[in-house]
């Protein structure tokens, strides 16, 4: 056998250990992982709690958005109804679509990741528990406030994709659109925080021996999902930022009369928006793959092909964004390329569907609720996939575009591909967190009502659409033959509503949260989440030898529970988990994890406050809230990154691992790298915007500041990066008293500030402002991005100086230091690239 890290795989043979475990280990684990009670429960960070709350919150938003849908369907049941006036209807469909996509679908799957992944990977928790808590609270507080805008008539009304010019200040003068832009921008921060957690969690906290080929499919799906968020979401973050800047400061990114372009928004939106559909679908598909194997009681057919399909979807889905723009008059050749990719992307979905069918055919499925939801979802999703291939054909799309055919298509895909699998998952995994399983009898009612309701509601919509009814209309005239199908659709919608109501009743009757005496493995799954657990997750962390360890080793549960594997105790007296290598999951070091804290909660509340107050234009309170949020984050970080008393610890069977690690193999380094990819993608999309606007409106371009200005700018950035790197080198030298490394980092921050100031000032000197033209707007967008990065650099440098003053910057290497240096180097690189691009292109070329 080969090794990835130098760890000798033969050591695995020491497990399960034979010697009896000392008394009191379990009690200690319980004490360390104990969750606070009473009001302090809100400060809990254990993934069992946060995950369950997270799923619950997402489900709440599903119900809220569902209620909006029912009201809309009531309005459309008959022609010329007066339940919802036009303006309110616009707000309703916008909120319904937005809440379903951003506050239900993405968070729901992310929440399941937080809940299930540590269990499936047999980690004690995800690597950054406080980050999960922050992501959850930010999402809950922000989402609820966003939803409340509806009660004040302030809800956004431009549709879930918010196209300008409709959403520009000229046509949407109120603050409704700002609610969308700031609210969604904010929710994305939460999604990205979750994605970073998931990438690092899946790659670095798997149980020893869980090589890539033994990873549960759900972990693969979540990995691809998180990477897609990291690549895709920056585009919409930039888009919302630009549109908000256009609305607030009159910078014409999307105004063609001044060198902007409305289609730029569509590109930015759909570069995120189409992958978004797969971002929703992939984790659900991962859940299906897990459940279908367990429910059919046979290993998944075509594991490797499914992994390939997940990866392929991740790539190809970024090549299809323009298929939402077939009617915008792109070059014929471009349209054809996008059409080809759109057809190709259905192949991986097909692979998965066939594999599921094969698994069901090979196995022995029983007639139970999760199986029904799986099969129902499959049928529904395939119908949606077929209409999807229809609209991928450009001439057909010209006919169906913006009609009810599209509404039918998108609901088939979303409900079949995500909602039904999610309900299957609720039934399948509820016994993992609940004392009682959900009711099979009620469950079958829930399924049949929802499934039949789905077909009754949405099948006729295809016809309504082909008969010409446009989407997003609040009513229609009688005598167009649309009455019958609309009435049927409304009846179907109420059937779905009834099914969901029954489900809520089932939950209320049977779901009793617990982390200790759960109902257990009702459906006989073979993966690690079905090991017996407490708040500390599993008692010991098993060595994984196959894809379904519980099926292959019937004694595994007992051995794990008796502490015969890794970490049978708390090795250091703190919360901790094993960090393992990304490909072969070889143990590398022991990560010390932070416990409960109120700071992530406060940070989330103030972050939400910052965005909401900004929306209602209360600028000073908003800034105050923002500052408080930053302080809370710093406070929460303050306690982290500190070595513990024991530098090395026995993690079981005499295997000794370090308890503090630095450098490129640490989880912190990985998280920072992922964060920099996010920031880098925002930058790439800004570059795209710049080139795009030049491409469509070159006549608005004026000459940039003289080239010699580049010298001090690039010099400043180089000095910033250089001083930061030097500081990191010097840290390793003992006793550098005169120029402490922290001082060097402060100097580096000073240079970053200098370079930014010169950059900004030299542009101002040319008289070009953000409001002048598309060029002015994008140049100033680059400056704004650089300004934000520079401010963060300053903050990080000060934070590091404070840590240094307190003597908690470890030598010879320190993680806080490393991450600050990485960030400064990145900032310098981005600043240099932006300066070169805006000053040399197109002029010098």
Q: Which residue, 62 or 754, has its beta carbon nearer to ligand HEM?
A: 62
By beta-carbon distance, which residue lies closest to ligand HEM?
A: 97
Q: Work out how close the CB of 488 gets to ligand HEM at its nearest, in angstroms, rounded to a whole number.
A: 12
Distance CA 264, CA 168 (A): 13
- Residue 221 interacts with which of other proteins, ligand HEM, none, CB < 5 to 8 Å by class: none
Outline where 250-328 has alpha helix (H).
262-296, 303-316
Q: Which stretch binds ligand HEM (CB under 6 A): 69-77, 210-218, 519-527, 673-681?
A: 69-77
- Rounded to 10 degrees, the C-alpha dihedral 141/147/152/154 comes to 110
| Shortest Å distance, C-beta 828 to other proteins | 24
CB atoms within 10 A of CB 12: 20
What crossing angle do the helices spanning 774-805 and 667-696 adopt, rounded to 10°? Answer: 160
Strand-pairing partners, residue 844, are none
* Phi, psi (degrees; rounded to nearest 5) at 231: -85, -35
User: In degrees, to the nearest 5, what angle opens at C-alpha 723 toward C-alphas 721 and 724?
Assistant: 65
Give the one entry of ligand HEM, other proteins, none that residue 72 binds, where binding means its C-beta sits below a cut-off of 5 to 8 angstroms depending on kind. Answer: ligand HEM
Q: Is residue 449 close enough to count as binding ligand HEM by CB under 6 A? A: no
- Report the site for ligand HEM in 389-418 (rule: CB under 6 A): 407, 410-411, 414-415
When the beta carbons of 275 and 460 are compared against other proteins, the nearer one is: 275
Nearer to other proteins, 1 or 844 (CB): 1
Residue 421 binds ligand HEM (CB under 6 A)? no
Distance CA 194, CA 106 (A): 10
Q: According to DSSP H, which parts of 697-814 are helical?
A: 710-731, 741-765, 774-805
Q: What is the DSSP letter of 751?
A: H
Q: What DSSP state is assigned to residue 547?
A: S
State in angstroms the smallest separation of the CB of 490 from other proteins: 42
Q: Please, what is the minimum distance in Å from the beta carbon of residue 75 to ligand HEM?
A: 9
Contact between 93 and ligand HEM by CB under 6 A: the answer reads: yes
Q: Residue 85: is it exposed, middle or buried by C-beta count within 10 angstroms (0-12/13-18/19+)?
A: exposed
Element containing residue 576 per DSSP (H, E): strand 576-580
- Taking CA atoms, 185 is separated from 143, 689, 692, in Å, by 11, 18, 23
From the list ligand HEM, other proteins, none, pick the one residue 257 interacts with, judged by a Cβ distance below 5 to 8 Å according to partner type.
none
Interface with ligand HEM, residue 539, by CB under 6 A = no
Q: Which is nearer to other proteins, 227 or 678 (CB)?
A: 227
CB of 458 to ligand HEM, least distance (A): 8
CA dist 88 and 101 (Å) reads 20
50 vs 407, which CB is nearer to ligand HEM? 407
Residue 815 touches which of other proteins, ligand HEM, none (Cβ within 5-8 Å per kind): none
Instruction: Choose the one of other proteins, ligand HEM, none that binds residue 471, judging by a C-beta under 5 to 8 angstroms depending on kind.
Output: ligand HEM
Residue 73 binding target from ligand HEM, other proteins, none, CB below 5 to 8 Å by type: ligand HEM
Cα–Cα distance, 709 to 835 (Å, whole number): 9
Pick the binder of ligand HEM from 45, 50, 57, 73 (CB under 6 A): 73
Angle of CA points 732, 736, 742, to nearest 5°: 80
* DSSP element (H, E) containing 247: helix 217-249
Question: Residue 211 binds which entry of other proteins, ligand HEM, none, with Cβ cut-offs from 5 to 8 Å by kind?
Answer: other proteins
Q: Where are the alpha helices (DSSP H) in 643-697?
A: 667-696
Closest CA to 352 of 302, 298, 297: 302
471 binds ligand HEM (CB under 6 A): yes
Q: How far is CA 149 from CA 102, 146, 612, in A?
A: 16, 6, 10
Among 57, 105, 131, 608, contact with ligand HEM (rule: CB under 6 A): 105
The residue from 57, 58, 64, 72 that contacts ligand HEM (CB under 6 A) is: 72
Least distance (Å) from other proteins to the CB of residue 217?
14
Q: Which does 442 bind (CB under 5 to 8 A by kind): other proteins, ligand HEM, none?
A: none
Binding segment for ligand HEM (CB under 6 A), chosen from 66-74, 371-379, 531-539, 552-560, is: 66-74
Least spacing, CB of residue 585 vs other proteins, in Å: 10
Q: What is the dihedral of CA 777, 783, 675, 689, to 10 degrees?
A: 30
Q: Which is nearer to ligand HEM, 9 or 159 (CB)?
A: 159
Give the one entry of ligand HEM, other proteins, none that residue 66 binds, where binding means its C-beta sits below a cut-off of 5 to 8 angstroms depending on kind: ligand HEM
The option from other proteins, ligand HEM, none interacting with 527 (CB < 5 to 8 A, set by class) reads none
Identify what 94 binds: other proteins, ligand HEM, none; CB under 5 to 8 Å per kind: ligand HEM
The residues facing 513 across adjacent strands are 434
Rule CB under 6 A: say whether 100 interacts with ligand HEM: yes
Q: What mask, x for binding ligand HEM by CB under 6 A, covers residues 142 to 171?
A: -----------------xx-----------
Give the sign of the dihedral formed by CA 376, CA 215, CA 44, CA 611.
Answer: negative
Among 16, 51, 97, 776, binds ligand HEM (CB under 6 A): 97
Q: Residue 187 interacts with ligand HEM (CB under 6 A)?
A: no
Q: Which is nearer to other proteins, 82 or 329 (CB)?
A: 329
Chain residues that interact with other proteins, rule: CB under 8 A:
1-2, 211-213, 304-305, 307-308, 311-312, 314-316, 318-319, 331-334, 336-337, 339-341, 344, 583-584, 695
Q: Which of the choices other proteins, ligand HEM, none does residue 1 contact, using the CB cut-off of 5 to 8 A by kind? A: other proteins
**C-beta of residue 486 within 8 angstroms of C-beta of residue 465:** no
| One residue of 44, 96, 271, 719 binding ligand HEM per CB under 6 A | 96
Closest distance between other proteins and the C-beta of residue 341, in Å? 6
| 457 contacts ligand HEM (rule: CB under 6 A) | yes
Among the listed ranges 68-76, 528-536, 792-800, 813-821, the one in contact with ligand HEM (CB under 6 A) is: 68-76
> Which lies closer to other proteins via its Cβ, residue 664 or residue 708?
664
- Return d(Cα 537, Cα 713) in angstroms, integer: 52
DSSP tag of 415: I
Bridge partners for 649 per DSSP: 657
Contact between 419 and ligand HEM per CB under 6 A? yes
Contacts 24+ apart (CB under 8 A), 385-391: 385/346, 385/349, 385/350, 385/353, 385/413, 387/412, 387/462, 388/346, 388/413, 389/343, 389/346
340 binds, among ligand HEM, other proteins, none (CB under 5 to 8 A by kind): other proteins
825 binds, among ligand HEM, other proteins, none (CB under 5 to 8 A by kind): none
**Closer CB to other proteins, 305 or 467, in the complex:** 305
DSSP string, 338-358: HHHHHHHTHHHHHHHHHHHHH
Cα 68 from Cα 624, distance rounded (Å): 35
If the CB atoms of residues 26 and 393 are measured against other proteins, the closer one turns out to be 393
> Helix, strand, coil proportions of the chain in percent (round to 5)?
70, 5, 30
CA distance 186 to 183: 5
**What's the Cα-to-Cα distance from 337 to each of 334, 344, 348, 392, rounded to whole Å?**
5, 11, 18, 11
Which H helix or E strand runs over 388? Answer: helix 369-392
Q: Quote the least distance from Cβ 542 to other proteins, whole Å.
A: 18
- Strand, coil or helix: 538: strand
- All residues at 6 or more sequence positions from 206 whose CB lies less than 8 Å from its CB, including other chains: 121, 122, 123, 215, 219, 544, 580, 585
- Given other proteins, ligand HEM, none, residue 496, with its beta carbon under 5 to 8 Å by kind, binds ligand HEM
Size of the site for ligand HEM (CB under 6 A): 24
Residues that bind ligand HEM (CB under 6 A): 66, 69, 72-73, 93-94, 96-97, 100-101, 105, 159-160, 407, 410-411, 414-415, 419, 457, 471-472, 493, 496
């Amino acid at each position: 056998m080969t090794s990835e890290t130098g760890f000798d795989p033969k050591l695995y043979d020491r497990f399960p250990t034979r010697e009896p475990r000392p008394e009191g280990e379990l009690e200690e684990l319980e004490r360390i992982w104990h969750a606070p009670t009473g009001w302090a429960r809100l400060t809990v960070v254990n993934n069992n709690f946060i995950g369950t709350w997270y799923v619950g919150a997402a489900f709440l938003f599903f119900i809220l958005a569902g209620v909006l849908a029912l009201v809309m369907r009531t309005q459309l049941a008959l022609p010329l109804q007066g339940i919802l006036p036009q303006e309110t209807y616009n707000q309703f469909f916008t909120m319904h679509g937005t809440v379903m996509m951003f506050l239900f679908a993405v968070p729901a799957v992310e929440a399941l990741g937080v809940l299930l992944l540590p269990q499936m990977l047999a980690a004690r928790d995800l690597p950054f528990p406080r980050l999960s808590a922050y992501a959850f609270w930010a999402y809950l507080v922000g989402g609820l406030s966003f939803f409340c805008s509806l009660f004040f008539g302030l809800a956004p009304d431009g549709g879930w994709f918010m196209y300008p010019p409709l959403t520009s200040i000229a046509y949407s003068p109120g603050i409704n659109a700002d609610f969308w832009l700031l609210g969604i921008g904010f929710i994305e921060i939460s999604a990205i925080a979750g994605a970073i957690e998931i990438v690092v969690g899946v790659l670095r906290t798997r149980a020893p021996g869980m090589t890539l080929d033994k990873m549960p499919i759900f972990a693969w799906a979540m990995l691809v999902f998180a990477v897609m968020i990291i690549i895709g979401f920056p585009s919409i973050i930039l888009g919302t930022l630009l549109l908000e800047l256009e609305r607030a400061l009159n910078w014409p990114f999307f105004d063609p009369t001044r060198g902007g372009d409305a289609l730029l928004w569509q590109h930015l939106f759909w570069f995120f928006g189409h992958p978004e559909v797969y971002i929703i679908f992939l984790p659900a598909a991962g859940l299906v793959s897990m459940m279908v194997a367990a429910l059919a009681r046979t290993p998944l057919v075509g594991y490797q092909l499914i992994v390939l399909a997940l990866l392929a979807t991740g790539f190809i889905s970024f090549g299809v964004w323009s298929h939402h723009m077939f009617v915008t008059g792109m070059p014929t050749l471009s349209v054809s390329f996008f059409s080809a990719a759109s057809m190709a992307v259905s192949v991986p979905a097909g692979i998965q569907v066939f594999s599921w069918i094969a698994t069901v055919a090979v196995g022995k499925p029983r007639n139970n609720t999760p199986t029904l939801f799986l099969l129902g979802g499959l049928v529904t999703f395939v119908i949606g996939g077929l209409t999807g291939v229809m609209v991928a054909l450009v001439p057909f799309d010209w006919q169906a575009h913006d009609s009810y055919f599209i509404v039918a298509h998108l609901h088939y895909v979303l409900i079949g591909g995500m909602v039904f699998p999610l309900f299957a998952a609720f039934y399948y995994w509820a016994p993992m967190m609940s004392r009682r399983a959900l009711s099979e009898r009620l469950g079958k009612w829930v399924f049949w009502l929802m499934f039949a309701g789905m077909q009754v509601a949405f099948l006729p919509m295809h016809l309504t659409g082909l008969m010409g009814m446009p989407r997003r209309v609040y009513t229609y005239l009688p005598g167009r033959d649309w009455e019958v199908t609309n009435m049927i659709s409304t009846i179907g919608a109420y059937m779905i509503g009834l099914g969901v109501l029954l489900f809520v009743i089932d939950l209320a009757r049977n779901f009793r949260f617990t982390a200790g005496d759960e109902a257990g493995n009702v459906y006989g799954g073979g993966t690690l989440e079905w090991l017996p657990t407490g708040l500390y997750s599993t008692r010991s962390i098993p060595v994984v030898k196959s894809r379904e360890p519980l099926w292959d080793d019937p004694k595994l549960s007992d051995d794990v529970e008796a502490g015969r594997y890794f970490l049978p105790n708390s090795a250091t007296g703190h919360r901790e988990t094993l960090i393992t290598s990304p490909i072969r999951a070889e143990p590398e070091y022991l990560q010390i994890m932070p416990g409960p804290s109120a700071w992530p909660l406060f940070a989330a509340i103030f972050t939400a406050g910052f965005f909401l107050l900004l929306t209602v234009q209360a600028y000073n309170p908003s800034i105050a809230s923002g500052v408080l949020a930053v302080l809370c984050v710093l406070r929460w970080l303050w306690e982290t990154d500190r070595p513990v008393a024991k530098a090395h610890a026995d993690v079981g069977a005499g295997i000794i691992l370090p308890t503090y690690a630095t450098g490129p193999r640490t989880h912190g380094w990985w998280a920072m790298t992922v964060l920099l990819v996010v920031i880098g993608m925002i930058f790439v999309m800004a570059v795209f915007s710049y080139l795009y606007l030049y491409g469509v409106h070159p006549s608005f371009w004026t000459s940039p500041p003289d080239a010699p200005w580049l010298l001090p700018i690039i010099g400043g950035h180089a000095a910033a990066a250089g001083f930061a790197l030097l500081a990191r080198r010097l840290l390793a030298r003992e006793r550098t008293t005169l120029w402490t490394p922290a001082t060097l980092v402060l100097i580096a921050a000073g240079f970053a500030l200098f370079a930014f100031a010169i950059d900004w000032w030299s542009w101002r000197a040319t008289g070009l402002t953000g409001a002048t033209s598309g060029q002015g707007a994008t140049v100033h967008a680059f400056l704004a991005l650089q300004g934000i990065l520079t401010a963060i650099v300053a903050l990080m440098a000060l934070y590091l100086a404070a840590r240094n003053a307190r003597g908690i910057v470890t030598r010879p290497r320190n993680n806080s230091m490393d991450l600050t240096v990485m960030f400064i180097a990145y900032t310098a690189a981005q600043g240099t690239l932006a300066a070169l691009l805006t000053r040399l292109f197109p002029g010098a070329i």
